[in-house]
Structures are given as C-alpha cells and as structure tokens.
Structure 1
Amino acid sequence: MSTAEIRRRFTAHFATNQTIGEHTVVPSASLLLDDPNLLFVNAGMVPFKPYFLGQETPPFTRATSVQKCIRTPDIEEVGKTTRHGTFFEMCGNFSFGDYFKEGAITLAWELVTKSIADGGFGFDESVLYPSVLDGDDEAVAIWRKVTGLPDDRIVRLPPKENYWSMGVPGPGGPCSEILVDRGGAYGKDRDWDAGDRYMEIWNLVFMQDELSAVRSKSDFDIAGQLPQKNIDTGMGLERVAYLLQGKGNMYETDVVFPVIEKAETLTGKRYGASYDDDVRFRVVADHIRSSLMLISDGVTPGNEGRGYVLRRLMRRAIRNMRLLGYEDPAMPELLPVSRDKMGETYTELHHEWDRIKRVADAEEEAFRKTLQAGTQIFDLAAGQVKESGATTFPGDQAFQLHDTYGFPIDLTLEMASEAGLEVDEQGFRSLMAEQRERAKADARAKKGQHADLSVYRDILDTNGPTDWQAYFTLETESKPIALLREGKAVPTLANGEIGELVLDRTPFYAESGGQSADAGIIEFDGGRLEVVDVQRPVKGLVVHQVRVVDGEFEPSRPVHAQVDKEWRLGARQAHSGTHVVHAALREVLGPTALQSGSFNRPGYLRLDFGWTKALTPGQVHEIEEVSNNALRADLPVSWQYMTLQEAKDWGAIALFGETYDDSKVRVVEIGGPWSRELCGGTHVEHSSQVGTIVVTGESSVGSGNRRIEAFTGLEGFCYLARERDLVGDLTDLLKTQPGDLVSRVGDLVERLKSTEKELERVRTAQLLASAGAIADAASDIDGTAVVAHRASGVGGGDLRTLAIDIRSRLGQAPGAADRPVVVVLLGDAGGKVSLVAATNDAARARGVRAGELIRSLGPVVGGKGGGKDDFAQGGGSDTSRIDEALGLVPGLVHGAAGA
C-alpha cells in the first residue's frame, strides 16, 4: 500500500465515520509555528496545543490531520536504527470534550484491523498488542470489550512509557499504544523494551489530568481532573508504511527509497552491500527530504536556530555523498527526486521549486568552499603533527575544524586515516559534549514555560471577545471589564502606575503581522491613561498596557478610547508601503523573492526576504523606483474576507511560519493582482497616501536572507531633506556644484592616499636611518652582539622593520661573519609597549631564542608575547618599566648562551 494511500485512508476513516461522528479534516500546518518552546512542529498535536491549553476555543469538537513534523535531538542516530528520522508525518485524530477512551480505542482498532478491501489497513489481529498505563483498569476493560482480546494480550507499562505530558504544568494523561509484533527475528518474546520486536504504530493519549508539577516523564504531581477531557492520538505514517510495504525500515518506503536509488546511480555503490555505506545512504535519503520540506516552509541555512538545523542537515547529506565517493554537486541531482515523490501530496513543492533550488544550490556551493578551506587547514595541522613525531591528530584541533569552520568530524577521520594518523576522538567528543551542555544550559535559561494565560482566558469566557473597531474608527466609548497588574486583578491604578486594561470595545490596533501597536490615550472622568502597548494574549481578547498620567483609575468608570491620529496614519503608510516594496521586489528580482518577515511602525518599514546574494545598487534603485511609481499611479487599496483555500487559489501570498484561520482570512490588494497578500494590518485607501518610499539600506540578516529598510510618508521626505542639506554643506565647503561632488571628493581621497604614502615613505626612511647608529651602539655579551634599545614613539610594524634592519646590519658588518646577533627593541607608541626580538643563526646555535626572550620580558611591562626562534613580538601596558626590561636583556642572553 503506497504512503499516499495510507494517508488518504486515515483521513477518510475519520472524516466519514458514522459510529463516533465525522471529523473535520485539518490540513498540515507549516513546520514553523510561533511557539517559544519549539524550533519546529515536532508532533501532530502541536497546531492544536492552544485548544488543549485552553488558550483558544476550538472551532470543532472532532478533528483529524496528517501533520508534517521535524525532530533533530538524535540526528547522529539517523540511519543507524529504524526508529530515528528527522522529517516524518504524524497521522492523528483529536477530540475536544467529545468522545473519550472508548471512542478513541474503537476508532483506532477499527482502522488498523479492517480489511484492505473495506478501506482499512488489514493488520492481522494476532500480531497486535494494545498497551495501557499500569493501573488504568478502565482502559483494560475497554480494550477487552472492543477487541475481544484475552488479558495476556493487553500489556501494562509504567508511566515512563505510557503517561503523556508536555513536560511543564498543564494537561496530561495516560496513554494506550498499539504495538505490532514483528517476530522473533527482531527480539525476545514479550520483551517490550526491545524496540524493534514490538513496534509502536499508534499512541492514544487520554488527556484527563491537570498537572501542577512535572519533574520528569515519570515524576509529576496531579492537581486534579481537567474540566474537559480530550483525545490526542498519533500514528506514525512512515512506520505503518514500511510495515504494510514489507520493508525493513522507513528509508525503504516508496517516498524515501527513490533518493537512495538515485544516490546508488551517482556513486556506483550498492545499498545493502555494506553497513557503513547503508548508514550513509539512509542519512542522505532522510536529510534530503527534511531539507526539501524545511526550505519549502521558508527556512534558509544559517548559523543559529532553524537555519542552523537546516544547514547541518544539508551538509550532512552532502558529506555522506562525498563519503560514498561522489564529489560533484549532489543537491541538483537528489532534491528533484524527493520533490517528485513528496510533491504528490505537497503540491507547493512544485510551485516553490525555483526558490527551493536556488537556496539549496547556494548552500552546497558555500559548503564546497568550506570543505576546500577546511582541507587546507587540516593539511597544515596534520603536517605539524607528523613533524613532531606524533601519530594522533589532537581532539581540540578536530573540534576547532568542526565548530569554527564547519568541517565534519567524519571527514576529519577519513583524511587523518589517509595521512596515517589517528584522531583523538575521545577528546573531540568531550569538547562536543561540553558544547552541548552549554547549549542546553543556555536553552534552559532562555526557555520559558507556557505563560499562564488562564486569567485572560477567564476574562474572555466571562465577557466574550473584544469588540474590535480598529478597521472602522479611531475612537470609541468603552466600558472597562478587567484591570490587571502583574497578572492579577486590582481595584485601582494610582497616578504613574502601569497596568493592563481590558475594554468591551476598542479602536486600538494590537501588535501583529509585523505592525506595531497603536499609541493613544484613554480618558476617564478625572484623568487620563497613556496606552503604552496593545496585545492579544489569547485569540479574541485585546489587552491594553496603560500608564496613569493623570488621576486615579477605577475600572467601574466608563472611558473614551482614542488612537493617536498621526501615529495611525504613519502606521498605515508604513504597512501599505511594506506591501508595495514586496511587490516591487518580486517585480525586479522575480517571484522567488518572497518575504520572510517584516516590521513596520509609523514612518519606517523593514522587509526580510529569501535571497542568496547582495543586491546591486542598480537593483536597489530599481526597487525604489518601481515602488514610487506605484505610489504615483494612485493604485486602489482594498481588502476582503474569504477562506484560506480560496485565498491560495486566488494567488494571495501568505507569510512563512504564520498561522491563519482556516474559516476566514483577510486578503489585502494594492492595484489588484499586482500586490495580493494575506494581512490583518491597517492600510491606506490609495497607494498615493503612502507619500513616498525612500530605501535607506539593503543588508544581510543571515545566510540566504536579506533585508530592505525604508522610510515612508513625512519621515521619507525628512530623510531626503537631511540628505539635501548635507549635499549643500559639502558643495559649499568644497566650492563645487552638486553634480561634481562625487568626483571632487574622489580627487580629495586620492590625493590624501598619495600624501599618506609619501609620509609613510619618508617616515620609514627616517626610521631606517637611525638603524645604523643603534647598531653601532651594540654591546658584546660573551662574543654576541646585543642591541637592547628603547625606540620612543615607535610601535607595531615599524618596530619590526627596525629590528630586522639592525640584525641585518650587524650580521653584514666587516669582520662580523658568523657573529651571533641579538636585537631587542621596546617601543612606547600610544601609551602602549611593543616588544620585538630578532636573532640570527649563530645566536640560535648558542641557544638564544627570540620567542623565549619575549616570553621573559613581556610580564615585566605588564603584558605577554611569543613567537618563533628567529623573530618574536609582544605587547604590554606599563611603559614605566621599559628600561627595567631592557636591563634584563644582557643577563638573559648570557644565561641562554651559557646553558
């Protein structure tokens, strides 16, 4: 049975079920959701989490979905076992206060055991073992009733295996799993921990408990029962697929194995011939698919967060292709294979292909350059190891190659072996473990638990949603319904205090969609409140953060809420300007230049977009010109509501990672199809009302992401006025015309550079002229010519030049053949001490080494340094001890030569 057919049968089973009730089929959400605790959606229930947490009211009581997921904690195990993969699809059915244990068990058992001819999966009941939480007698009784299985076929497992929570206070509950016995070849009878013998294919979570503390998966406190019992289930699509297709693991299914087959063709290797190569083939197949799906959902490779995960996946795939013997670009060959298979379900992969290909090709090219640079660094380090007579490549250098240069450890191992070296893997792993612990500690420090939104939820449940009037008016007569401070209800706010105010009706725009919140005032009898911020902590509820600027506020008083008109006008100009710049960007660069983020406030906008190289000045100018032509054309701005699918069919652009209401979305048009985007922000009525768009910058915000910044409206005119005044001041200062300003300044810069070069030449000549006198003053220490000199006002490169020149002069003096020479100079330029030491071959033969001299003298002047035997340098901060340090030189030379 194909994976697509398994997916279809799953949703059809729930969508048309008449026994328990029809379920709403919910399309897969993006892999990127706005959740501070998650980089990616990692389970099928994640998009429904606000409903389970009570943050939002679900629009349905029963639902089913097949959700895209990414998990990467065990990325190093991918390919080594049948249980680890990064991208997977989770089939689930969900009940929100509707059916519970018996309904969930009935639905799952029916689908799993129903014959293939009747639309089921056709598993033989003799290989199925339900598991329950040990002590959940209710679940045991239901399994017996529904399945007719004997007691010894129902497995009791501890909380570690069969109790579910999100790892934080909130909902939890016992689980029940359906296990498939794969036979004695995979492990011992009734060894439930064997993993591969009894394969879990479906987990049913009976969400019934309110947890007050969660210390571990099996250690938690139950505060009581949830007011509403829910069902959350997850069936692994890949596991069911490889079981029904008679394959050994998820990598051999119909949607993944074609990538392995293509890799076989490219590399000339055969899957199944070698364990090591098989692991590499499986890593390639898994990571190619994961990379494809992440790029499709808007992720671009980078050095942190989601971008780093994608980069790591792509580079591991490229690296493993190299280890299989294929060194040409792999992404152009493998990604299309995965696209064709996954695109049967996720058609957007075909629509977004040009952008996906551009991102992938650019990352592979960058990694190939990294490999080239890393190879040079490795060769140098390996050469030094061999010169020292050692046979082990240090773990810290392997870690530096991996951490700093992105050089894979497997490649280091391979190259070390070719060079006849071993790698200190234990040292490398230790440093990697330390880095992971630091990262985990940092994540724990930054990771916040789910904010306690119950107080807002209670307000919403009691009073209903806020009557939000931001699209229609700038002022309303309103009634306060809640006053909070630090999350708790308070009776009053005194003058100067800050709190949160909820009104029954408001004209204020709450921050969302990249648009900053409105500013304004709320007046009451006897005083005023300044609106500092406006947010929506739960869907449907608008909360104002306010500061009392006059009087004392009591929520029993009616209020007059008024948005700052100028603030709103500027915000509307900036938000519409963002849409205009996005459309202009796509017109200039092509349809693959898609917005990946934005922010706008009155007079200012920034727009991030996926692109792999800097824009040329000509492209930036053209984007600005297209934008302002759109303003001059006075394009109509309009908006309308429709379903999400209708919006997609209409060609509306949705922002990556954003979530939208499936039942109703708002589509904003500027000039008809020229700019058509899903957006909940405030906008002008005609494009000309934006005033102007002045692009002020284009920059990188990470690999594969660029940012355009611009001023709009009056702020744009003010920016241009400042530029005009600056040009005027410069033309007056330089006595030239504006059109000649660039060439005039260019001439001045060239003259300045020429003068600086001449000054440098004269200064160097003067410096070297003093070398003769300094060399003539050399002392004789045990037959060694020694210079220990303070070079006042000289430092850095000049001091180095002087030392080398003096050493050369002393070595070439009449009768000085083979004479040992030691030169030590200390400079005091800029209040800092510079130290240099130089020796010739004869001095080194006597045991005098420049590096040792600097290491001895550096601490005397409050610094340090070092270098090679022939030349070394250092620095210090205590100029008062220069003479003291120089006085030590003869003794150091004598001691070294004597030794």
Structure 2
Amino acid sequence: MRIAVAEEEAFLRTLNAGLLVLDEEISKAKKAGKSNLSGESSFLLHDTYGFPVDLTFEIAEEQGLSLDREEFNVLMNVQRQRAKDDAKMKRSGNADLSVYGEFRALGSTKFTGYEELVTSAKVVGLIRDGAVVSSIKQGDVAEVILDETSFYAESGGQDSDSGFIFAEGLSLEVLDVQKPVKGLVSHSVTVRSGEVGVGSKVSAQVSADWRLGAAQAHSATHVMHAALRQVLGPSALQSGSYNKPGYMRLDFSWNESLSQSSITEIEEVANLAIRQDLAVQAEFMSVEEAKASGAIALFGETYDELVRVIQIGGPWSRELCGGTHVSRSSQVGLVSILGEASVGSGSRRLEALVGFEAFQALSAEAQIVGQILESLKVPKHELAAKVRQTLEQLKKAEKKLAGLALESFRSKIPAVIKSVKTVGKFDFLHYSAGEDFSVDQVREMATGLSQALESKASIVAVTALVDSKIALIVATSSKARELGISSGNLVKVASGILGGGGGGKDNIAQGGGPDTSKLKDAIAAIEKELNS
C-alpha cells in the first residue's frame, strides 16, 4: 500500500511540474500571437516530465491553441531511434552473453505475437549497463526478460515491434527487441514511470498501429519477391531484406540494372496481387515438407526441424518465414517502388514505400505535378513534352548567357592583367570571378588570361563560387613551366587548404574545395610555392 501511495505521489509531483511548464509555454505562444503550441514544447513535456501528450492537447485546446502533432511525432521518432541505437550499443558493447545464458537456462521465451498483441507475463530478468540487477526505476534504460511476450524480436529482415510494458504505476517504453541467444527475447526499454523488479507481473502491449504497418511491410516484401521472379524469372532470388512500417527493401541476385519498364512491370504485378485479395496463410511443417512444397528458403540460413511457411495466393508466393503478416494481400494497401540500385557484384536492391506511407508519397508527388501543371498551363498528358521543351529552352538560354558573359570578360582582359604582381621569378595573377559561373566558364577565363600573359613566366589562378564550393583553375605559361612550375602541383597545394582536391596537367589544372573561408590562405600557399 505504501508503495502504491508513493508512486501516486511521485506521479502527482511530475504532473504538477509539467503543468507549470505547460502554462509557461501556452503563455509564450499567446504573447507571440501564435495559434498553435509547438511540437517541440509538447515533446519536452512528454520526454522530460512524462506529461501525457493527450493531456497537453486537451489543455492547449481549452486555451484556444492547436498542437503541432506532426512535429511532435517527428521528434518522438528521432528520440526513439536514438534511444534504440544507444540500447543496441550498450547491449553489444557491455553485456556478456553468459548473462543471457543464465536466463535462457530458466526456459525459452514464449512468443504469443502471432495470436495476440497483449500478453500477461512475468519479469524473469533485468539487465542494466551489462549487469544483472534486481530492479529498475524511472529514467533507467535497461533490458527486460519476460517469460512470454507478444513483441516480435528483430529477425528475418523485420524490424522489432514497438509498444509498452505496463503494470500498476509502471510504464516501460519498448525501444528495441532482440534475440541475444537462441530462444531468449530481450526487450530494451526506458522506464517512463514507476519501478519494476524481478518476479513482477506485467502486461506486454504491442502498438497495434506499429504491428499493422510491420505486417503490411513484411507481406509486401513477399509480394514484391514473387512479382520480381514472375517478371525476371526464377533466378532472381532474394538474398536479403529489411522491412518496417511503411518501408521495405529487397536484395536479389541479378547481374544488371533494371530498366524502367521492368521496374514498372514489377510494381504493377505486385499491386495487382494486392488488389486480388489473395489469402495469406501460415503453416508449420518440417524442412523437408517445406522444400517439397516449393517453399523458398534463403541461401545460407539455418532452420529448425519445424519451420513456418507463409504462402500468398497458394503457390504464387511460398516462403519460409517467421515474421508477422497480414491475413489477406489487400490489407497491404499499396506498394510504390522508390528505386533500384547495385549493392555489390551480382546483387541488386529494390526499395519501396508500403501502405499509407506509399499513398502519402504519391499524394505529395501529385500535388507537385499539379503545381507544375498550373505554372506551365498545359493539360496533364502534355506535361512531359512541355517539361522537355522547357529544359531545352533553358539549356539554350544558359549557353547564350554563358557566351555573352565570356565575351564581356574577354573585353576586360587588358584591364584585369594590370593586377599582375611579381612573386619571386614569376608574374602571378589571381582573378576572383565571383558567382554565377560554371567550372567550364572559369576554365575559359583562366585560359584567356594565360594566353594574354604567355610571353612572360606567368601563373594565372582563377577562382569562383560554384555550387557553394570554391572552384580553382590554375594555368601556366611555357616559360613558367621551363622554370619548373606545374599547374597540377599548385592546384593540389591550394585545394588541400580548401578542404578538397584536384590535379591536372602542367599547363592547366582544376581543383577547389568547400571551405570558402580559406580562399586567401590557398592563394597565399600558391605564392609561397612560387617564392620557394
């Protein structure tokens, strides 16, 4: 009873502290004439004070303010990923596997996630900073071992589940779920409130939204694999994958890049399979039975005697898989391929968005297309031709402007070369062209100035700001080269100071770098070389 009272008092203290901060944030927003409360403010309240975001929303609404939930969600996702990465680093860097072996000896973790999202469980072990502990409290980041769990541990290309572990007065946010040793599931958590000890009864609750997204993405991976083999042939076998809510990637054996028409066909086959509402079935059988049924297994993987086979549309897609899936292909919703690329010799990768995330991306693209259509004043079926025409006109205009700019520069050459100064045995000219020039134009300038000074032992360095970086062209006269000066060597020295690189021939070389603040130092380094 005393523990329950103490936990209630601690929660009330947290609530009061959060209310004070929320009042200040609301006051600041009103004074600034804002109509909404920033997601950063609500995230601070949630992350630092454990203040429920729904309560923040209600109070803000009462004060006539809306809440930027999109910004809040972005910050939450960043924080979760950071905490998840930190938990993984701590586990892999500090925890001796013998620690897990001790808990594994108590029995394997029963996975209930195929049948349910919420599971009653008992805490059988706690690990903090790589060491076994008897309890963890608010603010701790630790690992929790349960006797059974509904949380899917990262494996088979599927990311781990997200959610919470609850008990009276206790809230543990699950950051990551792994299988450190075979048969044992470890939940990396941050203790949002309360305290929990070994032997405590808890409720493991997977986020329904997360699991739906995860199931959609994993089933989409199987659908994409089947579509890939249908279009390219049976030799296009999966060699790896990764999926999480809204996203999937599939690595497969193939020796060349896919044409756009092949990518489009694969996408169409996959989405047609989704629209056909194919049954997704799971069945346990022996490895021999699975192989005899035509189920695809990943090369190099080791399997138990009893394996789980997932089939979509019967034999169309039949694979060994321990992941979570939708029950009908139509529940995947939509797949939209982002692109295809090489990931090594004889291996390619397809990436795609899945479900609502795919819809959001396509909707955003449609809005962009709509804006372009409105600007160009053409019907949709003429858009591609109009864009090509506009790009061609732009290229011609840029070429014409470049020609005019160079003509204007050539007329200035007699005035520019008056800035030549003597450095050691040489005549040295640095000309800063400014911005709005291409590297090719800078090279033309350097060539023109060098030709004007060809009768002397001259070195010309022309610099310009191109794509937010310093572009440098150095040209030398034949007399300067006879005295041992190389444009390539000078460019390397200067480019190193600019944080970049470069090189070229003795007569002309190109380089530069991103550090625009070091331009004077780079030119000084060239002069030092000429003086040596």
Find 1:515's aligned residue among 158, 173, 197. Answer: 158
Gap change, CA 1:855 and 1:727, over 3 Å in 2:
closer
Gap change, CA 1:638 and 1:802, over 3 Å in 2:
closer
Q: How far is the alpha carbon of 1:550 from its aligned partner?
A: 1.7
Gap change, CA 1:852 and 1:580, over 3 Å in 2:
closer
The answer to whether residue 474 in structure 2 is matched with residue 836 in structure 1 is yes
Alignment-mate amino acid for residue 824 of structure 1: I
Q: How far is the alpha carbon of 1:542 from its aligned partner?
A: 2.1
Q: How far is the alpha carbon of 1:669 from its aligned partner?
A: 0.8
Find 1:461's aligned residue among 99, 105, 113. Answer: 105
Find 1:793's aligned residue among 420, 430, 433. Answer: 433
Aligned partners of 1:615, 1:735: CA distance in 2, in Å?
A: 34
Find 2:259's aligned residue among 616, 626, 635. Answer: 616
Give secondary structure in 1 for the equivalent of 2:405: helix
Aligned partners of 2:374, 2:116: CA distance in 1, in Å?
A: 49
The answer to whether residue 239 in structure 2 is matched with residue 601 in structure 1 is no
Alignment-mate amino acid for residue 602 of structure 1: P
Aligned partners of 2:524, 2:105: CA distance in 1, in Å?
A: 81
Q: How far is the alpha carbon of 1:660 from its aligned partner?
A: 0.3
Aligned partners of 2:510, 2:333: CA distance in 1, in Å?
A: 60
Gap change, CA 1:589 and 1:883, over 3 Å in 2:
closer
Q: How far is the alpha carbon of 1:872 from its aligned partner?
A: 6.4
Answer 1 or 2: higher relative contact order, Cα 8 Å, separation at least 6. 2
Alignment-mate amino acid for residue 588 of structure 1: V
Aligned partners of 2:121, 2:492: CA distance in 1, in Å?
A: 77
2:15 corresponds in structure 1 to none
Native 8 Å contact 2:473 2:508 kept in 1:
no
Give secondary structure in 2 for the equivalent of 1:793: strand
Per-residue CA deviations over 1:538-561 (Å, capped at 9, x if unaligned) read: 222222222211211123331122
Mapping of residues 725-804 of structure 1, within 5 Å:
725-771=367-413, 788-793=428-433, 798=441, 800-802=443-445, 804=447
2:459 corresponds in structure 1 to 824
2:22 corresponds in structure 1 to none
Give secondary structure in 2 for the equivalent of 1:493: strand
Instruction: Give the unaligned 5+ runs of structure 2.
Output: 1-91
Q: How far is the alpha carbon of 1:511 from its aligned partner?
A: 1.5
Given the two structures, how large is their TM-score scaled by the length of structure 1?
A: 0.43
Per-residue CA deviations over 1:156-209 (Å, capped at 9, x if unaligned) read: xxxxxxxxxxxxxxxxxxxxxxxxxxxxxxxxxxxxxxxxxxxxxxxxxxxxxx
Give secondary structure in 2 for the equivalent of 1:624: helix
Per-residue CA deviations over 1:75-110 (Å, capped at 9, x if unaligned) read: xxxxxxxxxxxxxxxxxxxxxxxxxxxxxxxxxxxx
Gap change, CA 1:548 and 1:809, over 3 Å in 2:
closer
Gap change, CA 1:868 and 1:701, over 3 Å in 2:
closer
Q: How far is the alpha carbon of 1:805 from its aligned partner?
A: 4.2
The answer to whether residue 331 in structure 2 is matched with residue 689 in structure 1 is yes
Native 8 Å contact 2:310 2:321 kept in 1:
yes
Native 8 Å contact 1:837 1:853 kept in 2:
no
Give secondary structure in 2 for the equivalent of 1:824: strand
2:30 corresponds in structure 1 to none
Per-residue CA deviations over 1:753-781 (Å, capped at 9, x if unaligned) read: 11110011112222223345667999999
Alignment-mate amino acid for residue 452 of structure 1: D
Alignment-mate amino acid for residue 476 of structure 2: A
Mapping of residues 139-154 of structure 1, within 5 Å:
none
Aligned partners of 1:563, 1:763: CA distance in 2, in Å?
A: 64
Q: How far is the alpha carbon of 1:614 from its aligned partner?
A: 1.0
Larger Rg: 1
Aligned partners of 2:405, 2:486: CA distance in 1, in Å?
A: 28
Alignment-mate amino acid for residue 433 of structure 2: G
Native 8 Å contact 1:667 1:678 kept in 2:
yes
Aligned partners of 2:421, 2:175: CA distance in 1, in Å?
A: 76
2:342 corresponds in structure 1 to 700
Aligned partners of 1:675, 1:767: CA distance in 2, in Å?
A: 66
The answer to whether residue 245 in structure 2 is matched with residue 565 in structure 1 is no
Aligned partners of 1:887, 1:666: CA distance in 2, in Å?
A: 72
Give percent identity, aligned residues only: 44
Give secondary structure in 1 for the equivalent of 2:181: coil
Give secondary structure in 2 for the equivalent of 1:510: coil
Native 8 Å contact 1:696 1:709 kept in 2:
yes
Mapping of residues 533-544 of structure 1, within 5 Å:
533-544=176-187
Give secondary structure in 1 for the equivalent of 2:137: coil
Find 2:354's aligned residue among 712, 731, 754. Answer: 712
1:277 corresponds in structure 2 to none
2:486 corresponds in structure 1 to 851
Alignment-mate amino acid for residue 691 of structure 1: G
Alignment-mate amino acid for residue 166 of structure 2: E
Aligned partners of 2:98, 2:356: CA distance in 1, in Å?
A: 43
Find 1:648's aligned residue among 291, 302, 308. Answer: 291
Q: How far is the alpha carbon of 1:732 from its aligned partner?
A: 2.2
1:366 corresponds in structure 2 to none
Aligned partners of 1:578, 1:637: CA distance in 2, in Å?
A: 13
Native 8 Å contact 1:793 1:828 kept in 2:
yes
Give secondary structure in 2 for the equivalent of 1:553: strand
Gap change, CA 1:489 and 1:743, over 3 Å in 2:
same
Gap change, CA 1:590 and 1:801, over 3 Å in 2:
same
2:80 corresponds in structure 1 to none
Native 8 Å contact 2:103 2:125 kept in 1:
yes
Q: How far is the alpha carbon of 1:737 from its aligned partner?
A: 2.6
Alignment-mate amino acid for residue 373 of structure 2: T
Aligned partners of 2:295, 2:492: CA distance in 1, in Å?
A: 71
Aligned partners of 2:320, 2:421: CA distance in 1, in Å?
A: 83
The answer to whether residue 312 in structure 2 is matched with residue 674 in structure 1 is no
Native 8 Å contact 2:472 2:491 kept in 1:
no
Aligned partners of 1:833, 1:710: CA distance in 2, in Å?
A: 37
Q: How far is the alpha carbon of 1:665 from its aligned partner?
A: 1.0
Native 8 Å contact 2:297 2:320 kept in 1:
yes
Aligned partners of 1:504, 1:496: CA distance in 2, in Å?
A: 24
The answer to whether residue 228 in structure 2 is matched with residue 590 in structure 1 is no
Aligned partners of 1:882, 1:828: CA distance in 2, in Å?
A: 10
Give secondary structure in 2 for the equivalent of 1:754: helix
1:627 corresponds in structure 2 to 270
Q: How far is the alpha carbon of 1:868 from its aligned partner?
A: 5.9
Aligned partners of 1:514, 1:651: CA distance in 2, in Å?
A: 21
Native 8 Å contact 1:775 1:787 kept in 2:
no
Gap change, CA 1:676 and 1:768, over 3 Å in 2:
same
Alignment-mate amino acid for residue 101 of structure 2: R
Alignment-mate amino acid for residue 361 of structure 2: Y
Alignment-mate amino acid for residue 310 of structure 2: V
Aligned partners of 1:484, 1:809: CA distance in 2, in Å?
A: 76
Give secondary structure in 1 for the equivalent of 2:339: strand
Give secondary structure in 2 for the equivalent of 1:578: helix
Native 8 Å contact 2:491 2:509 kept in 1:
no
Alignment-mate amino acid for residue 761 of structure 1: G
Alignment-mate amino acid for residue 459 of structure 1: F
Give secondary structure in 2 for the equivalent of 1:821: coil
Q: How far is the alpha carbon of 1:628 from its aligned partner?
A: 1.1
Aligned partners of 2:477, 2:118: CA distance in 1, in Å?
A: 83
Count of aligned residue pairs for this structure pair? 427
Aligned partners of 2:422, 2:351: CA distance in 1, in Å?
A: 67
Gap change, CA 1:566 and 1:732, over 3 Å in 2:
same
The answer to whether residue 192 in structure 2 is matched with residue 549 in structure 1 is yes
Q: How far is the alpha carbon of 1:683 from its aligned partner?
A: 1.2
Give secondary structure in 2 for the equivalent of 1:581: helix
Higher mean displacement: 723-732 or 600-609: 723-732
Gap change, CA 1:585 and 1:880, over 3 Å in 2:
closer
Native 8 Å contact 1:515 1:599 kept in 2:
yes
